[in-house]
A and B are shown apart, each in its own frame.
Chain A
Amino acid sequence: MSLLRGKVWTFGDDIDTDAIIPARYLNTSDPAELAKHCMEDADPEFPQKVSPGDIIVAGKNFGCGSSREHAPLALKAAGVACIVAENFARIFYRNAINIGLPILESPAASAALREDDQVEIDLAKGEITASAGKQKFLSVPFPPFMQEIMAAGGLINFVKTVIPQQNQVVTRTKRGGMPGSRQ
């Protein structure tokens, strides 16, 4: 499950969320509809070209701009299996982890990988392999707390595990805490 194999699509620095999913399509949040326009303003052909399992390799600050979760939702629904970048804008980073879209930070892989490369990604190890094993890159590891969210399959599943019981009203004075949190 955590082993991905796919073809690389490359993008540059500062790919903003308006390029990932333009606001003109945000009158819906249906992932299948959003996927039809994924990356359209960066590459109009992308929604037609992308195949399930493909991998995006980008430069720095991927996903900058708006907080729209529709951006990682569109990428996920288009079949993008993982995004490797030099680094990510912070809201996109949160959103990807929260919805369970795999992302990896690796400046070396971002610089070395080329369009159409076939890569293999071991998500558990954070390892990216290309050129039939000749190139290997290790991504920046996630803090344990974020790994817990990812292991749960996203933030909602994670929250479910910390809400003490169904229908309990959480109040200001008496509330269930999130793990990794204050007592």
Chain B
Amino acid sequence: MGQTMAEKILARAAGKEHLSPGDLISARIDMALGNDITAPVAIREFRKIGIDKVFDRERIALIPDHFTPNKDIQSAEQVGEMRRFAHEQGIVHFYEIGRMGIEHALLPELGLALPGEVIIGADSHTCTYGALGAFATGVGSTDLAAVMATGELWFKVPPTIRLIFEGRPSPWIGGKDLILFAIGRLGVDGARYAALEFSGPVIDGLPMDGRLTISNMAIEAGAKAGLIAPDKITEKYLQGRARRPYEVVLGDADAAVLEEHVWDVSNLEPQVALPSSPANARPVSEVAGTRLDQVVIGSCTNGRIDDLRMAARLLKGKKVHPHVRLIIIPATQAIYLQALKEGLLETFANAEAAVSTPTCGPCLGGHMGILASGEVALATTNRNFVGRMGHTESRVYLAGPAVAAASAVAGHICSPQEIKEVD
């Protein structure tokens, strides 16, 4: 019996020949990540262990991104604690504002997340790197502390659920629509403890930015990881980018899986997840007309260059609706610069959108666009739980950048088809 991609990657990292779901293992970690919320707790726990040095200063990334640029004194103290630790330990991958980006956009961009690797992060969206064929999963701060000390972590080997996307989707369909649709079908705990594996002709044709969006939200179905088999698109993305040698690990065709779902997405409409669950996915036409106060385009889910290009395409020559505030947040400094070079930022400014330096910001209700009681937002982010972007009586709809940009212009939720593009 063959093994899945997740089983094979974990087996390699655990020095085992063969693994099955449920096996408890200790795996070697190729990269460990913390942010300004989770790293301070990890640093304090690390110090309790009583060793002087981290296991490998090149395999730890510390990225202040959630409340940065520091929103208040306490946030500044948290980043200060990270900075002191990074300097003391000689952490190679510590990036501050002006050089940084949202962690899950930054690590792939820097070539620090690679096929066949095992990556952990004290952030639930660490599963993003599954798009590159890595076994990447979110853990807690204490887990990160243990990895910083030993370079290893315990795992229960997850079963795999295969999601196969077939058909020829409409040009407005992006990674976000596919993953919202999938979470809608699976439910918020439909993949609890399992590894999702995304495949099929639609995934084969999807550019890397869209793949990263899909793997990013695997956690919203409760999954431990969200893997996509590396192919030519992966190889091209990693060319001149990969910072370490790597070895592609593919699953066996005869591997046993827990479930397999085959979906034809030829007639799929752009998807919108209604408040207050990412699993409340509906076709955009069902919620069209919902009045909006704010639209956010950004985050580790949809703040990449393809997302900004899509938004600019619909915003060009238009104005954001008078009662809507549109906030656009390129996910990394490099994406910001690329958007500047391509004239996208000018398009956004002319459309009367606000453009921010990279930050997680409003996605988790941190800063840069908090909602008041009764306000309604549509965001390209990943969660719309009660109070996620501000007041507990505000509401958040989730969608991809096409629906977000179109809705910002219309002033209410609408399909991108309804916006006439200007050349």
Contacts and interface: CB of A to CB of B under 8 A. Distances in A.
Interface string B143-176: 1011001111110100000000000000000000
A99 to B, nearest CB: 6
Contacts of B41: 29, 69-70, 73
Interface stretch (B267-275, B333-341, B380-388): B380-388
Contact of B365 (A23, A90, A166, A176): A23
A182 interface: yes
Given A41-B386, A67-B124, A176 B150 contact: yes
Interface in B344-392: 364-366, 383, 385-388, 392
B357 to A, nearest CB: 19
Interface stretch (A12-20, A123-131, A132-140): A12-20
A18 B387 contact: yes
B122 to A, nearest CB: 6
The secondary-structure label for the interface of chain A is loop
Interface stretch (A1-9, A50-58, A107-115, A167-175): A167-175
A169 to B, nearest CB: 5
Interface of B: 14-16, 24-26, 37-38, 40-41, 44-45, 48-53, 55-56, 66-67, 71-72, 74-75, 78, 121-124, 126, 138-143, 145-146, 149-154, 156, 188-189, 192-193, 222, 224, 277, 364-366, 383, 385-388, 392
25 contacts: A18-B385, A22-B387, A27-B67, A27-B72, A29-B78, A60-B189, A61-B222, A67-B121, A67-B122, A67-B126, A87-B192, A91-B139, A98-B140, A98-B142, A99-B142, A143-B24, A143-B156, A145-B24, A156-B145, A167-B52, A169-B52, A170-B55, A171-B55, A180-B154, A183-B15
Interface of A: 14, 16, 18-19, 22-24, 26-29, 41, 60-61, 64-70, 73, 87, 89-91, 94-95, 98-99, 143, 145, 154-156, 159-160, 162-163, 166-172, 175-178, 180-183
